[in-house]
Structure 1
Amino acid sequence: MGSFLPERSRKPGEAFTRFLFGRRARRRWIHLILGGALAMPYVLVGEVVVGPATDSRYVFNSFPLQLVSFAVGLPLAAVTALFPLTRPMSVAGVRALCGVDGDRLADGPPRTWAARRRTVGWFTLHLGFGGIISGMSLAVPPFAAVLVVLPLVAGLRGSRLGLPEVLDHTWALALSPVAGVATLIALAACAAAGGNLLARWAPALLGPTPEDRLAAAERRAADLAVRNRLARELHDSVGHALSAVTLQASAARRVLDTDPDFVREALAAIEDTTRRTVGELDAVLGVLREGDEEKEPTSPTLADDLDGLLRRTRAGGLQVTATVEVNPDALHPLVSREAYRIVQEGLSNALRHAGARTPVTLLITGGGKELEIVTTNPTTATGVPRPGGGHGLRGIADRARLLGGTSEAGPVDGVWRLTVRLPLEGTP
């Protein structure tokens, strides 16, 4: 039950023990040890410099010279920390071992010199603290173990271990186990304090800069744009197909016994519609599966399938009168694709909201510098609007706006009119 108690109800001794030896403290200790391991190559380079400079052949046997070599190696570490991959490596270590929230740390290499300087500061601190704690972790436990067993092993007292002379006294010998345990606790306290300091400094030195936040916002906006684009593709293709198939099947059922030719035509249109829609759905899902956000799903265009779209729509009972005063083959592929979706959604709206046997006019003109698409149908039709609708007109507006065009929809003189204008020049 103790592990479920809030922090305020824990005993001071328990909190102190967790600070020194808890899971987070142990993981941060490992992080410091890794910093010491990264510091070793730089210390060796420092020894190569310090040895000839001090005319010493055995730098490794001299603790002061080791400290000097360590001090010489840290600036070298700072220089290598300017490489771009240093920050992602450091961030990965901090996230895994220091218990710092991922949102408080930056992703990817630094984008500015200010961010690189902060990374240099972090890397130098990590290797500096890590080198010190690693050295203490190697030296202190054996020394503490000797102090703990010293009263029990008489042979250690006269050995050449370099023990302090004070341990020759009886009272010091009796207290040596306490001193050994205290030394281990001091080591744990130094490691916990060092790990805590690095965890506190990590967000300041490895946190996202304004440039990182801007890049993250741009990535989120790009992801949202991709999702919206794919949602429009699915809505327009699948939504139109379901509306058309529903009305085609309903019309065929009503005249099943009296007009077999119409039934055959409706069934053929249903087959064609579903086959094409399955192909479009596979293309969109293929983009999602491959994770290629830059790839455009295969979509029909006015040049490819305007006649087929009109034929399938008429098979559902909609009386479409189409006038095309532009050559679809001459349109920019992007304009032709978006225009097809706009025409498809305009006819789908008429199917869903006006009902079958409703006269609909479609006019596509390309005079001047813009392509104009106009669909009209009576507002007095008896069709029942589909609940939850309204996304189609929003999608049309989005498609027009992305190409720099405009869209207008609403009742005009007793008819519902949808007008979309797309620029033909300067199209992205």
Structure 2
Amino acid sequence: MRRPWRALFGRRARRRWLHLVLGGALFMPYWLVGTVVMGPLMDSGPVLASSLAVQFGAYAVGLPLAAVTALFPLTRPLSVAAARALCGVAPERFAEGPARGREARTRTAGWFTLHLGAGALVSGASLALPPFALAVAALPFSAGLRDAEFGRLWHPDRPWLVWAALPLGLLMLLGLAAAAAAAGALLASAAPRLLGPSPADRLAAAERRAADLAVRNRLARELHDSVGHALSAVTLQAGAARRVLDAGTPDLDFVREALTAIEEATRRSVGELDAVLGLLRSGEDSGELAAPGLDALDALVRGAGRRVELTVRGDLAGLPEAVSREAYRIVQEGLTNAVRYARQETVTARIALSGDELEITMENPLPGTAPVARPDGGHGLRGVTERARLLGGTAEAGPVDGLWRLTARLPVGRAGDRSAPPAGDRSAPRAGGRSAGPAQGRPAGPAGGAR
């Protein structure tokens, strides 16, 4: 008994009834236009006192008018908002934004016409039927009502008809509720098909998701490269400074250099972190991140925390900003891996601009013991590959002749035409501090999956 009652008068049924009444209210302007058209044709009187034929004729005229006006793109967002609130359909089954394309507009027009047409019938019945049903139900209790309104229907030889009016009036009200519930269920079942996403909407949504994922991946790479490198460098410098201080005759100049490198690395990392977090808070991609380029290599090498032999061939000042920025990140990731996995050996980094290609090669000797891989396999080399691929280049890493080698080739377009001819290598050992043994907390060694 509870389920039928809830189906007719429950919260969802009441909301759908309200949705139908809203459709009837929206149909009123079209119905009035229809009465203006039908009135002269059928020679009727005033609009509100016109015959049922005129009113249903106006109804028939108003439906095509509603369908035509529903072809405007903004009809769908308004219909979706009302249906989401009142139809009891899951919100994700509706399309977002204005209707674009013939198919989407046609389906929206079909929904709008169905909503207004069914709403007009249910609204008219909701206004006219309850007073009539209550009057019928009151006939057994009012002789004056029987004589005045229904005298022709009753006969003294059939007094049972008087008492039959009571359940008849109640059945009328139940029938109205059932009709409204059925119309609401019809709208709810038709809403996902008529207001749901079209293939064009699904494609647009997929493109938006792909763009969002691309932004998230780019921000994740920036965080991994900048913060990961800074933490590795800080860990190594702090460990080296602690060992020097624990020595019998501490080298205060070395400790001062290590603290300076820590300060520079953390200041640079905090600035980059603020830029990334600013984009995350805004929820949108507002352009390229203010990441450093190859002009910041000296500071990067100083913070690496071990002896780094850097060789630069060619004029890097003419590189496009995107290439310079991604090349910096690739070098940064290579130094981060060297800090983590190499021991006291010199890390070799070569950057060569030749024609329209920038080649980055980083090497460090392999250790004698196998490394312990990360459980998640690491993301550094994957990020290097993604950066190179985004620029149309390639990247590869692995053991070669007893060395761990990372090689990336990036096309630079016309940058090679602007670069000066090589005037010899600018090669000099650069160190961010004295060698202080392996980094603490991680076994040394190569592992492509662990890097």
Determine if the TM-score, normalized by the shorter chain, exceeds 0.5: yes
Answer yes or no: is 1:411 the counterpart of 2:403. Answer: no
CA contact (8 A) 1:372 1:422 kept: yes
**Aligned positions of 1:236-247 closer than 5 A:** 236-247=225-236
CA contact (8 A) 2:80 2:195 kept: yes
Could you tell me how far apart the structure 1 residues matched to 2:98 and 2:329 are?
41
CA contact (8 A) 1:352 1:385 kept: no
Within the candidate set 303, 319, 328, 1:312 is matched to 303
Could you tell me how far apart the structure 2 residues matched to 1:81 and 1:324 are?
66
Question: In the alignment, which residue of structure 2 is the partner of 1:14?
Answer: 2
Output the amino acid matched with 1:370: E
Question: In the alignment, which residue of structure 2 is the partner of 1:359?
Answer: 346
After superposition, the Cα gap between the structure-2 partners of 1:117 and 1:18, relative to the gap in structure 1 and judged at 3 Å, is: same
- After superposition, give the CA deviation of every residue in 1:162-184 in whole Å (9 maximum; x if it has no partner): 54732566322212121111000
Within the candidate set 160, 172, 176, 2:165 is matched to 176
**Aligned positions of 1:34-183 closer than 5 A:** 34-62=22-50, 63-159=52-148, 162-163=149-150, 165-167=152-154, 170-183=159-172
Within the candidate set 223, 229, 234, 2:212 is matched to 223
After superposition, the Cα gap between the structure-2 partners of 1:164 and 1:264, relative to the gap in structure 1 and judged at 3 Å, is: farther
Answer yes or no: is 1:341 the counterpart of 2:329. Answer: yes
- Helix, strand or coil for the counterpart of 1:323? strand
- Helix, strand or coil for the counterpart of 1:407? strand
**Number of equivalent positions:** 408
After superposition, the Cα gap between the structure-2 partners of 1:21 and 1:426, relative to the gap in structure 1 and judged at 3 Å, is: farther
1:310 Cα shift?
A: 1.1
- After superposition, give the CA deviation of every residue in 1:60-84 in whole Å (9 maximum; x if it has no partner): 2123212111211111111110010
CA contact (8 A) 1:352 1:384 kept: no
Question: In the alignment, which residue of structure 2 is the partner of 1:10?
Answer: none
Answer yes or no: is 1:262 the counterpart of 2:254. Answer: yes
CA contact (8 A) 1:287 1:295 kept: no
Output the amino acid matched with 2:358: L
- After superposition, give the CA deviation of every residue in 1:95-126 in whole Å (9 maximum; x if it has no partner): 22212223332222222201211111111111
- After superposition, give the CA deviation of every residue in 1:292-351 in whole Å (9 maximum; x if it has no partner): 224332211112x111111111xx2x1100011132321000111111111100100111
Question: In the alignment, which residue of structure 2 is the partner of 1:394?
Answer: 382
Could you tell me how far apart the structure 1 residues matched to 2:381 and 2:264 are?
25
Could you tell me how far apart the structure 2 residues matched to 1:36 and 1:79 are?
17
After superposition, the Cα gap between the structure-2 partners of 1:261 and 1:167, relative to the gap in structure 1 and judged at 3 Å, is: farther
Identity rate, percent: 62
Answer yes or no: is 1:298 the counterpart of 2:290. Answer: yes
CA contact (8 A) 1:354 1:384 kept: no
Output the amino acid matched with 2:9: F
- Helix, strand or coil for the counterpart of 1:271? helix
After superposition, the Cα gap between the structure-2 partners of 1:86 and 1:193, relative to the gap in structure 1 and judged at 3 Å, is: same
- After superposition, give the CA deviation of every residue in 1:214-240 in whole Å (9 maximum; x if it has no partner): 111111111111111111111011100
Output the amino acid matched with 1:347: L
After superposition, the Cα gap between the structure-2 partners of 1:71 and 1:84, relative to the gap in structure 1 and judged at 3 Å, is: same
User: Is there any run of 5+ residues in structure 1 with no aligned partner, and where?
Assistant: 1-12
User: Is there any run of 5+ residues in structure 2 with no aligned partner, and where?
Assistant: 416-451
CA contact (8 A) 1:358 1:381 kept: no
- Helix, strand or coil for the counterpart of 1:131? helix
1:411 Cα shift?
A: 0.6
CA contact (8 A) 1:167 1:176 kept: no
- Helix, strand or coil for the counterpart of 1:100? coil
Could you tell me how far apart the structure 2 residues matched to 1:312 and 1:99 are?
60
CA contact (8 A) 1:352 1:383 kept: no
* Higher helix fraction (1 or 2): 1
Output the amino acid matched with 1:343: V
Could you tell me how far apart the structure 2 residues matched to 1:17 and 1:83 are?
39
Answer yes or no: is 1:196 the counterpart of 2:185. Answer: yes
Could you tell me how far apart the structure 2 residues matched to 1:270 and 1:376 are?
24
- Helix, strand or coil for the counterpart of 1:59? coil
CA contact (8 A) 1:140 1:183 kept: yes
- Helix, strand or coil for the counterpart of 2:141? coil
Could you tell me how far apart the structure 1 residues matched to 2:239 and 2:13 are?
70
1:54 Cα shift?
A: 3.1
Could you tell me how far apart the structure 2 residues matched to 1:385 and 1:361 are?
23
Question: In the alignment, which residue of structure 2 is the partner of 1:3?
Answer: none
After superposition, the Cα gap between the structure-2 partners of 1:341 and 1:383, relative to the gap in structure 1 and judged at 3 Å, is: farther
CA contact (8 A) 1:43 1:73 kept: yes
- Helix, strand or coil for the counterpart of 2:405? strand
Output the amino acid matched with 2:82: G
Question: In the alignment, which residue of structure 1 is the partner of 2:363?
Answer: 376
Could you tell me how far apart the structure 2 residues matched to 1:19 and 1:182 are?
16
1:384 Cα shift?
A: 6.2
Could you tell me how far apart the structure 1 residues matched to 2:154 and 2:231 are?
92
CA contact (8 A) 1:396 1:407 kept: yes
Question: In the alignment, which residue of structure 2 is the partner of 1:289?
Answer: 281
1:406 Cα shift?
A: 0.1
Question: In the alignment, which residue of structure 1 is the partner of 2:446?
Answer: none
Answer yes or no: is 1:280 the counterpart of 2:268. Answer: no
- Helix, strand or coil for the counterpart of 2:396? strand
Question: In the alignment, which residue of structure 1 is the partner of 2:21?
Answer: 33
**Aligned positions of 1:316-335 closer than 5 A:** 316=305, 318-335=306-323
Output the amino acid matched with 1:413: D
1:381 Cα shift?
A: 6.6
CA contact (8 A) 1:353 1:386 kept: no
1:426 Cα shift?
A: 7.6
- Helix, strand or coil for the counterpart of 1:106? coil
